[in-house]
A = this chain, B = another copy of it.
Amino acid sequence: MSQLTKRSEDYSKWYNEIVVKSGLAEFSGVRGFMIIKPYGYSLWDRMKTILDKMLQFTGHQNVYFPLLIPKSTFTKQEEHTEIFSEGCAVVTHSRLIKTNQDQEKLIVDPESKLQEELVIRPTSESIIWKTYKRWIQSYRDLPILFNQWGNALRWEMRTRLFLRTTEFLWQEGHTAHSTKKEAIEEAIKILNIYTDFSEKFMAIPVLRGIKPYMDKFYGSEKTYCIEALMQDGKALQIGTSHFLGQNFSKAFDVKFTNFNGKKEYVWATSWGVSTRLIGGLIMSHSDDKGLILPPKIAPIQIIIIPIYYKENDIIINEISENILNILKKEKIRVKYDNRIGFTPGWKFHEYEMKGVPIRISIGKNEIQNEKVEIFRRDTYEKTYIPWKDLKNSIQKLLDEIQKNIYKKALHRTQKLIKKSDQYNDFKNQINHSGGFIFAHWDGTKNTGKKIQEETEATIRCIPMSNEKEKGKCIYSGNPSMQRVVFSKSY
């Protein structure tokens, strides 16, 4: 098994290699589409299970809407359409037929042309709000708190595994409310869920904020977001939660009769996180030896590897399987790799690459001393634990690893959070260490654009925690009321 390119040599190459070599995913032959392999899918499945529980616990229900959206529905909300129509998969025909010239070759049957073209959902606001019109009459029908797990498709020019793929897996929530206040509260509630999910399970510290008006979701009034810093100092948007106002209810004419018998337009939110999260997970924690996965979401939490010696193979297997069963009873996701034909060294390398939090190895010495060797993927520490203590200490160790991975990411992030009041400084910081730079901005689109052209940094968000502070725009010198967060980003 070959080595990874070092992060310090070529970060982007390191990323691509780690995704493939750890067995998470690879590109398919179809441009921009990836294949999620078993290890990657079980990671996604684990993330999905946790987040789904959080969403259901807060009253959200899962539904499933059609993959294909008729063009007339898709294009109802103007602002929304403007951006999503630029790159979308359009279904125009429903049949292939053999050509007269070449019976081997199939062509699109012109006679199967659809009366109306269908667009593969890039996101489902339009088809869902068309349906909500049928479902919502009275305040009694509200709120609607629906979520959908599925695939979506956006035609991307430059794609990267997990981070930006034409097709992606995600959840998209679509809620309907009787008041503006309730809808805003919902959007923020979801941002809080995403924050908890990211910090407590993925071990990724995030910055919570609001997108500047020119970067909000098309069709929304306000986009709340969480942003995380990757190891190369660039930001990654982890999740977004949109307050849609009445934009979609107006586009689809969805009104409800309120308490007083008057008709009003419905208020809305939408929100989502996708397989992109896996990209963020990789770039937050992993190192030059491979993935580092937080125990709470690791598909395999502990790998047991036997170190065979001829004279005691049977004993090693017996003891390993005993330990395996003890750990399984503790509901730990554990695997015993007793494949022959692979050396222990090869296996060590393999599970380091896959980011399994704990490796237990059992050989001659361990049996003589009634201990196991414990290897921590996050710190490379080796310790020994007596067999009899394993049951009681292993969950604690997993919790400690979880905390340590978060702490490390938090420490790294905090070091890269800076204030800047001087444009040359700002440019230096962006180009060298990167990170989140808190700076004053005059609030104009044009300034944002200029800064991006000159530094590649964009305004990631207006932080929700931000205090008001008078100052001057770092670029134009014009007055500003608060700092915003700049960073290069994925």
**Within A381-436, which residues are at the interface with B (CB < 8 Å)?**
none
A93 touches B95 (CB 8 A): no
B117 touches A108 (CB 8 A): yes
27 interchain pairs, CB-CB under 8 A: A28-B65, A29-B131, A30-B118, A33-B66, A35-B63, A35-B131, A36-B63, A38-B62, A38-B63, A41-B62, A41-B63, A42-B62, A67-B153, A68-B167, A71-B106, A75-B96, A75-B106, A87-B94, A87-B95, A89-B94, A90-B92, A90-B94, A91-B91, A91-B92, A91-B120, A94-B155, A120-B120
A61 interfacial by beta-carbon distance below 8 Å: yes
- The distance from the CB of A116 to the nearest CB of chain B, in whole angstroms, is 9
Q: Which residues on B sit within 8 Å (CB–CB) of A33?
A: 66-68
A97 interfacial by beta-carbon distance below 8 Å: yes
Q: How far is the CA of A112 from the CA of B29 in the complex (A)?
A: 20
- The distance from the CB of A415 to the nearest CB of chain B, in whole angstroms, is 36
Kindly report which residue of chain B lies nearest to residue A66, judged by CB atoms.
Answer: B33
Q: Which residues on B sit within 8 Å (CB–CB) of A62?
A: 38, 41-42, 45
- The distance from the CB of A400 to the nearest CB of chain B, in whole angstroms, is 29
B35 touches A66 (CB 8 A): yes
A85 interfacial by beta-carbon distance below 8 Å: yes
Q: Which residues on B sit within 8 Å (CB–CB) of A167?
A: 66-68
**Which residues of A pack against B, CB within 8 Å?**
28-30, 33-38, 41-42, 44-45, 61-71, 73-75, 81, 85-97, 105-106, 108, 112, 117-120, 127, 130-131, 146, 150-151, 153, 155, 167, 169
Q: Which residues on B sit within 8 Å (CB–CB) of A64?
A: 35-36, 41, 44, 169
B91 touches A96 (CB 8 A): no
B88 touches A29 (CB 8 A): no
B86 touches A108 (CB 8 A): no
Interchain CB contact (< 8 A) of A30 among B66, B85, B87, B151? B66
Given A65-B35, A151-B150, A167-B68, also A29-B94 (CB < 8 A)? no
A93 touches B96 (CB 8 A): no
Kindly report which residue of chain B lies nearest to residue A275, judged by CB atoms.
Answer: B64
B155 touches A95 (CB 8 A): yes
Given A62-B42, A81-B106, also A67-B130 (CB < 8 A)? no
Q: Which residues on B sit within 8 Å (CB–CB) of A89?
A: 68, 91, 94, 118
Given A64-B36, A67-B167, also A88-B96 (CB < 8 A)? yes
Q: Which residues on B sit within 8 Å (CB–CB) of A69?
A: 30
Kindly report which residue of chain B lies nearest to residue A34, judged by CB atoms.
Answer: B66
Q: Which residues on B sit within 8 Å (CB–CB) of A130?
A: 29
Q: Which residues on B sit within 8 Å (CB–CB) of A41?
A: 61-64
Besides A41-B61, A90-B92, 8 other A-B contacts (C-beta < 8 A): A30-B70, A34-B66, A67-B167, A88-B96, A89-B94, A90-B94, A90-B108, A150-B151
A151 touches B67 (CB 8 A): yes
Q: Which residues on B sit within 8 Å (CB–CB) of A71?
A: 96, 106
Given A61-B42, A93-B92, also A85-B68 (CB < 8 A)? no
Q: Which residues on B sit within 8 Å (CB–CB) of A36?
A: 63-64
- The distance from the CB of A57 to the nearest CB of chain B, in whole angstroms, is 13
Given A33-B68, A42-B61, also A90-B91 (CB < 8 A)? yes
B92 touches A88 (CB 8 A): no
Q: Which residues on B sit within 8 Å (CB–CB) of A29?
A: 70, 73, 127, 130-131
Q: How far is the CA of A34 from the CA of B66 in the complex (A)?
A: 6
Interchain CB contact (< 8 A) of A61 among B38, B112, B119, B146? B38
Interchain CB contact (< 8 A) of A90 among B37, B93, B119, B127? B93
